[in-house]
Amino acid sequence: MFNNIIGQVQTVTALNKEIATGTLPQSLLFYGPKYSGKLSTALEAARILCCEYGTAKWSCNCPSCNLNRNLLHPDVLMTGPRYFGNEISASGDAFLRTGRLGTRYLFIRAVRKLTRRFDPVIWDGINRPNTIGNEIREIEGKLDIIRPGTELPSSDVLQENIESITELSLGLEKAVTANNIAIKQIRNISLWAHMTSTGKNKIIILENAEVMQESSSNSLLKLLEEPPPGMYIILLTRRRTSLIPTILSRVRQYPFFIRSKTEVSLVLKKIFNELSGSYENLQEYFNSWQDITPIALEKAAEKFMESVLKGDGSQNPLSEIDRKVDIFSSKENAGEFISALLDVLHSLLKNRFLQTENDSVLSDIFSVEKINKLKNIIYDSYQNSITLNIKPSLVLNSLFYNMREAVRE
Ligand SMILES: [Zn+2]
């Protein structure tokens, strides 16, 4: 089991053992950096838990495994805010370049990670734009042309098909509830969890679980504490320390680590068919689909926060950065930047305890209330950067002034 997961030996070994001995807990937390394989592992766990033959080999022929390989199993749901564009573009490109079955699955799964978020179970009673149903049907129609087992069309037709799916998906992405996992969604999931089903296992995978409003967290607590029989909840996070302690105490935690260079080369070679050695890490690979490196992003976030904390008449440093390289014309970059800001804020929070006591300015800035206030401002802005039709650079601009105002208060 989990043969397709590269690296993460500690967690994979634990999961294997627990599943084999029937001791897998029902509430799980996978935590670790981006691109460390959390979602792939969660989806693989879901496939194994749903397998009708119980063998759960990757090539298993049971109807359930077939649905899960295509991310179409009705008993496996995904939710939580995230970006999809890079993954869909990168895997579409890999599929076009190689035409291999593995990359075909990769592309189809990248798209469905997005479309499955609109599962009616999750959205019941929540307003969503009427056109979404049509758009998803259109995407599904185009995915059907390339579904595994069918002969691929000519390369021109294939390219057009993939480009069209990618474009439609990017349009759809904007409609995903961005920042918070709405309380109504959690309630819907809870209802679904308690509905008597075929007696099979049900799995909910919740990505970026740390970006959740308090009301949603509280609603989730009940489910985590007493999941109905056969229900598994897998939370994924990059920032375990941002989760509230009451959630942390109700889940078993599984660490994911930054992959070694050898493992990354393996992932790139095996999955994307890239020549090994050309990319330092997976993040870099995905970032090559946009024009910003993680280090540049981190530096920009630090500089931004520094200007915010100065609280004087200083200018938004982003306008200067943006003029030079125009990196914030993309929503994805803006979102990544905002996410990097949260990291900076957290490291500031840690360092707060290292400051000398008579450093009154810092201790004031870093009061817990103030930190929470800044955090909320950042969350709001994250949501706006995805959902609103505003230039991302404008969102960041108002983020700067809102944060600075909060610091000055
Ligand atoms: Zn199976």
Instruction: Kindly give the distance from the C-alpha atom of residue 386 to the centroid of ligand 1, in angstroms, as a whole number.
Output: 37
Q: pLDDT tens digit string along 295-323?
A: 667 777 887 888 887 766 666 666 665 55
Between residues 373 and 252, the one the model is more confident about? 252
Q: What is the pLDDT of residue 358?
A: 44
Q: How far is the CA of 360 from the centre of ligand 1 (A)?
A: 61
What band does 55 get if pLDDT is binned at 50, 70 and 90?
confident
For ligand 1, the distance from its centroid to the CA atom of residue 53, given in whole angstroms, is 5
CA nearest neighbour of 162 among 73, 82, 98, 116: 98
- Whole-model pTM: value is 0.74
Candidate from 10-14, 159-163, 270-274, 333-337 with smallest mean pLDDT:
270-274
Q: How far is the CA of 184 from the centre of ligand 1 (A)?
A: 33
Torsion angle of alpha carbons 400, 183, 139, 96, nearest 10°? 60
Question: Looking at the predicted structure, is the pLDDT value of residue 356 above 50?
Answer: no
Q: Please report the pLDDT score of residue 286 as a whole number.
A: 63
From first CA to last CA, the distance across the chain in angstroms is 55
- Which has the higher per-residue pLDDT, 83 or 119? 119
For residues 71 and 115, the answer to whether their CB atoms sit within 8 Å is: no
Strand partners, 255: 31
**Three-class SS state of 99:** coil
Q: What is the mean pLDDT of the chain?
A: 81
Please give the distance, rounded to the nearest whole angstrom, from the Cα atom of residue 79 to the centre of ligand 1.
24
Break the chain into its structural domains and give their ranges. 9-272, 290-408
The residue-averaged pLDDT of 199-203 equals 85
**For the stretch 30-59, what's the b/e string if a residue is b when 16 or more beta carbons lie within 10 angstroms of its beta carbon?**
bbbebbbbbbbbbbbbbbbbbbeeeebeee
CB 147 within 8 A of CB 108: yes
Dist. CA 151 → ligand 1 center (Å): 24
pLDDT at 361: 47
55 C-alpha vs ligand 1 centroid, how far in Å?
Answer: 6
Q: Where are the beta strands (DSSP E) in 118-175?
A: none
CATH number of 9-272: 3.40.50.300
Judge whether residue 238 has pLDDT over 60: yes
Q: Cα(31)–Cα(325) distance, rounded to whole angstroms?
A: 33
Q: How far does the centroid of ligand 1 lie from the alpha carbon of residue 223, in Å?
A: 27
Rg (CA), the chain: 22
